[in-house]
Structure 1
Amino acid sequence: MKGIILAAGKGTRLYPCTLPVCKPLLPVYDKPMIYYPLSMLMKAGIREILIIVPEGETETFERLFGHGEKLGLEIQYAEQPVQRGIADAFLIGESFIGGDCVCLALGDNICYGPAFRRTLRRMGNRVREKGGAGIFGYYVADPRPFGVVEFDPNGRVISLEEKPLIPKSHYIVPGLYFYDPQVVAFAKALQPSSRGELEITAVNERYLEQGQLRVHALDAEYTWFDAGTAERLYEAAGAIKSAQRSGVMIGCIEEIALDNQWITLEQLAAGAASLHQTRYGQYLEALAEDRAEEQ
């Protein structure tokens, strides 16, 4: 399975903060925002990743990640000249996807919780083995700004709706989606919505119509943020700071790469050395020392 991060948003909800810098590169506590969706793809076991960036920003992201060598990844980049909606990611990434399954993560989404690695891999394995699509449901107090999923009393999905004025449920679809190769054809067949976008909800509806959509509801132990506004960005930073003070590191891509056996302890230590003046770097140094003692 391959992965795509859609990180091409202009970040208009965060102006003036995002006038000089791309939204996915804003700090969320101690890491750039894009670390968090990247960490989700890595936890899902995905090594081949396409990052879709704003026009003219490829070099900026390359300075951060290169082509993934230091993380045991294979990272490619593509630019989105005009924003045409989330489903446009599959048109931009058509040649990258090829005939493979794909997981799409939005560049401003942050999600973490217990056993998330197992949850992600179970969803990815199911799509690979049985086809179709897999998405998540997350309870929010006000679902109106999001794509909303409605369940029947038996927990089966019966409807999806994009940004409804009167939502049929409080469960929204976070920005993490697993698809089989059909997704490219479905995206090509889309017409722009009244908002002028190729809607991801319309893609999910196609899978629902075919009986090929699986939705896994995340329980209250999971934390999710759409970090696209100043308020949510601030809340996400506070939540991550609190979680990390309790000893749970969120979005640590080097640790995930090590756990996946994609990099060695020596590579981890080398990366930590360049960050030694930060708490993040000190965490990596301590991690390298602890793992070396365990061997």
Structure 2
Amino acid sequence: MKGVILAGGTGTRLYPLTKMINKHLLPVGRAPMICHGVEKLRNAGIEEIILVISKQSAGLYTELFGGGKEWGVRLTYKIQEEAGGIAQALSLAEPNMKRDEKFVVLLGDNLFEDSLTPYVQSFQNQGQGARVLLKKVHDPKRYGVPILEENKILRIEEKPAEPKSNYCVTGIYMYDTTVFNKIRTIKPSGRGELEITDVNNVYASEGQLAYDILDGWWTDAGTFQSLYQASDWLMK
């Protein structure tokens, strides 16, 4: 199984820190943010990783990781030339995937405590479809909120005014290679991007979007507050 880490984006919420460096290279705890995703995948037995980055700081990524040997992984770099959304960034990994292959996708600014190993094993045993990881939060209105039925997600509502659960969809996704055809079927959102929620809802409409719930802490380290909180957790 392969891994994909999406580490493009401009990081506007962390300006001016991100004026000169990509946000995924900012320090969190004792290492750059991006290192935590690489380590989580490696520790789950995923050694072949596709790293999707923007042109900004591309040289710094190669200085940090090289080909990945020192980190116990094999890295392939893909450049996202312009902001087109998470689904568009994910589509860049298609040429590196085998037919009917399964893979794990991490958003590079999602930091979390749990090991990925049991969730990856559940996905391997799942059969066709996709799997996402959820986290119970006190402010679900800020996130994509799943409507749940037994072990399936019926639909994900993006930043709903009246959330139907207290869970959010984290930036940890697992897909089969049908995801690339699904990406080709969706249309850009109002902000002109291909949204990953729309892709997940295609799976949900087919009854093929399963989920697990994270036990430990999780954060989207895209703001100053969450960046500080993640550093505090990781230092402890």
Q: TM-score range by the shorter chain?
A: over 0.9
**Which TM-score applies when normalising by structure 1?**
0.76
Deviation, structure 1 residue 117? 4.2
CA 1:151 to 1:124, structure 2 compared with 1: closer, same or farther past 3 Å? closer
Question: Is 1:140 aligned to 2:141, yes or no?
Answer: no
Question: Is 1:237 aligned to 2:231, yes or no?
Answer: yes
Question: Is 1:107 aligned to 2:108, yes or no?
Answer: yes
Match of 1:32 in 2: 32
* 2:105 match: secondary structure: strand
Counterpart CA distance in 1 for 2:132 and 2:138 is: 20
Match of 1:263 in 2: none
| 1:66-123 deviation digits (Å, cap 9, x = unpaired) | 011123321010111111111112321110124222211001000113xx24323323
* 1:208 match: secondary structure: helix
What amino acid sits opposite 2:80 in the alignment? Q
Question: Is 1:180 aligned to 2:180, yes or no?
Answer: no
Aligned mate of 1:168, from 153, 159, 164:
164
Counterpart CA distance in 2 for 1:230 and 1:41 is: 25
- Structure in which a larger fraction of residues adopt helix: 1
Counterpart CA distance in 2 for 1:117 and 1:143 is: 23
Unpaired runs of at least 5, structure 1: 243-295
Report the aligned-residue RMSD. 1.6
Match of 1:260 in 2: none
Counterpart CA distance in 2 for 1:165 and 1:80 is: 32
* 1:4 match: secondary structure: strand
Counterpart CA distance in 2 for 1:163 and 1:43 is: 32
Deviation, structure 1 residue 193? 1.1
The percent of aligned pairs where both chains have the same amino acid is 38
CA 1:66 to 1:5, structure 2 compared with 1: closer, same or farther past 3 Å? same
Deviation, structure 1 residue 136? 0.9
Q: Which moved more, 1:142-151 or 1:28-37?
A: 142-151
CA 1:108 to 1:49, structure 2 compared with 1: closer, same or farther past 3 Å? same
Unpaired runs of at least 5, structure 2: none
Deviation, structure 1 residue 210? 1.3
What amino acid sits opposite 2:211 in the alignment? V
* 1:191 match: secondary structure: coil
Q: Which runs of 4+ in 1 moved over 3 A?
A: none
Match of 1:210 in 2: 206
Q: Which moved more, 1:53-62 or 1:174-183?
A: 53-62
- Structure in which a larger fraction of residues adopt strand: 2
Checking the alignment, whether the CA contact within 8 Å between 1:45 and 1:121 is kept in structure 2 is: no
Checking the alignment, whether the CA contact within 8 Å between 1:134 and 1:177 is kept in structure 2 is: yes
**Which TM-score applies when normalising by structure 2?**
0.93
| 1:220-278 deviation digits (Å, cap 9, x = unpaired) | xx110100000000111111112xxxxxxxxxxxxxxxxxxxxxxxxxxxxxxxxxxxx
Checking the alignment, whether the CA contact within 8 Å between 1:43 and 1:121 is kept in structure 2 is: no
Matched residue count: 235
Match of 2:47 in 1: 47
Checking the alignment, whether the CA contact within 8 Å between 2:4 and 2:105 is kept in structure 1 is: yes
Deviation, structure 1 residue 157? 2.3
Aligned mate of 1:228, from 206, 218, 222:
222
| 1:193-221 deviation digits (Å, cap 9, x = unpaired) | 122221111111111111111111223xx
What amino acid sits opposite 1:146 in the alignment? Y
CA 1:97 to 1:163, structure 2 compared with 1: closer, same or farther past 3 Å? farther
Deviation, structure 1 residue 60? 1.3
* 2:139 match: secondary structure: coil
CA 1:217 to 1:139, structure 2 compared with 1: closer, same or farther past 3 Å? same
Of structures 1 and 2, the one scoring higher in RCO (CA 8 A, sep 6+) is 2
* 2:170 match: secondary structure: coil
Which of structures 1 and 2 has the bigger CA Rg? 1
